[in-house]
Amino acid sequence: MYSIDFENDLIKDVKMIDIDLLNPHEKIIEEKKISLVKFIKSYESYYIISSIVCCHETLLVIDGHHRYFALKELGFKKVPVTLIDYKSDSIRTGKMNPLDKKFIVDVGKSSTLLEPKSTEHAVYCNKSKNWEPIILLSSMFKIETKEIVK
């Protein structure tokens, strides 16, 4: 159950994926990642985390760059991912000056990342008729923390 009403076929899958297959497109705010790493490490056996939202075709990270980099630093090999249809018109890349989705995918395939928060991905809610934060498509996952080297 999701808190917004969106296209039925927008979410393609929700599963654990090899972290090295994912393609980030933005740099992160280092302090925010450090705080998240410390926070996750503070849990003795497990932590509940929102899945990383990715394109189902390209594995472009759409939402969750800080989660991606924190989990990578912590040594997680597989991470929770919600795979979506990024080509859908129900997904936008920004409010004021949206970037072209193909450009964002190409950046994700390159070694050059955009500045933090360069995109503002949102999903259209059919019920409210508003654009909502794309993290609302995430699913909650339990990740094991007891094996993290403290």
d(CA 64, CA 22): 11
> Buried (b) or exposed (e) across 59-70, using 16+ Cβ within 10 A?
bbbbbbbbbbbb
Q: Is residue 26 annotated as a catalytic residue, yes or no? A: yes
Cβ–Cβ < 8 Å for 54, 83: yes
> Among the options 26, 115, 120, 147, which is catalytic?
26
Q: Residue 28, Cα to own-chain centre: how many angstroms? A: 12
Phi-psi region of 89 (alpha: psi -120 to 50; beta: other; left: phi over 0): alpha
Residue 22, exposed/middle/buried by CB under 10 A (0-12, 13-18, 19+)? buried
Active site residues: 26
